[in-house]
Structure 1
Amino acid sequence: MEAELTALAASGATTFVGLMATEAWTQARGRLARFLGRGERDDVIDAELEESREALIAAHRDGDEDGARDVAAEWRIRIRRALRDNPEAEQELRAILDDLAPQQAAGPTVAINHNTISGGHYNAPVIMAQWVNDGVSSTPRRGPGTA
């Protein structure tokens, strides 16, 4: 169970930190503050989240990858602690993440194909794929026999 809560906390931290630099942050910040504050310290946590956002933006601006990772690590620990301390928090966090998921930008899509190459000599890497999608929409391809 601890591994599941740790994974959920990591997912939550990744989602919230990812939203810190977007327009959806205001809504996400309020929901995270209410989740972590449990109605008692919402305003304090809200201010801490805003400080983290400013630190994250500064880290990205300065190319400080360690600083950006530190922000995510801080919130991952705090979310994990909240999940451990309050059994009802797991479902609440899952609901928040489900609600916020459509607001995230769609990233690259990856599918794993299992291919086998036998025989012959290959002097360079061989890449075989069913399809590759970098998140950019394009017009459908037309092949033989299509209108």
Structure 2
Amino acid sequence: MEELAALAASGAASLVGLMISDSWNHVRETVARFIARERKPEDTMAELDRARHRLIAAQERGDEGAVRDISAEWQSYLYLLLCTDPTTAEELRAMSASLDNMLAGEQSPGVSNVINGGVQHGPVVQTGQITGTAVHTIHMRLAEEQPKASS
């Protein structure tokens, strides 16, 4: 039971940390599906969103007690979930590790882009993936563009 309590505490800390991060919108459905179990994920997402709003408001007020209370609520919820269905422990471990990695990624320094290979005379686009976009360039032929001298 002590291991489950530690796992619930770790999961709650990860959850609360992500609630106030930029990554929250990316992970909230995954978290809701995990937590929901026998409820509708939409209801759980609404509950998570309410907790997030309370958490952000508490942080803005500087109310560390309220932040700890919200974390304790989720820790208790996760602990009960683990006690009810111990097979969820491995899922929670995996999800917590994934959430912690997301948090660590957010806390790392900003993005740094470097372009090598000389001077670039045109648009430079750096992205993960571009689909459906075309970049057109105009190539000028100086010899054809200039008027011919008459003799």
Q: With structure 2 as the length reference, what TM-score do the two structures score?
A: 0.66
| CA shift digits 1:62-110 (9 cap, x unpaired) | 111111111101100000000010121101111111222221137xxxx
How far apart are the structure 2 equivalents of 1:22 and 1:105? 11
Higher helix content, 1 or 2: 2
Q: Judge conservation of contact 1:6–1:80 (CA < 8 Å) in 2.
A: yes
Matched with 2:32 is 33
Q: Judge conservation of contact 2:15–2:99 (CA < 8 Å) in 1.
A: no
Matched with 1:81 is 80
Percent identity at matched positions?
40
Instruction: Return the index of the structure with the highest Cα Rg.
Output: 2
How far apart are the structure 1 equivalents of 2:80 and 2:17? 20
How far apart are the structure 1 equivalents of 2:66 and 2:17? 14
Q: Judge conservation of contact 1:16–1:28 (CA < 8 Å) in 2.
A: no
Runs of 4+ aligned residues of structure 1 deviating over 4 Å after TM superposition are none
1:20 is displaced (CA, Å) by 0.8
Q: Judge conservation of contact 1:19–1:25 (CA < 8 Å) in 2.
A: yes
1:45-64 → structure 2 map (5 Å cutoff): 45-64=44-63
How far apart are the structure 1 equivalents of 2:29 and 2:18? 12
Matched with 1:92 is 91
- Stretches of structure 2 lacking an aligned partner (at least 5 in a row): 110-151
Q: Judge conservation of contact 1:34–1:42 (CA < 8 Å) in 2.
A: yes
Q: What SS does the corresponding residue of 2:104 show, helix, strand or coil?
A: coil
- Higher RCO, Cα 8 Å, sep 6+: 2
Instruction: Specify the code of the residue in structure 2 equivalent to 1:49.
Output: L
How far apart are the structure 1 equivalents of 2:2 and 2:26? 28
Q: With structure 1 as the length reference, what TM-score do the two structures score?
A: 0.67
Matched with 1:17 is 16
1:126-137 → structure 2 map (5 Å cutoff): none
How far apart are the structure 2 equivalents of 1:92 and 1:27? 18
Number of equivalences: 109
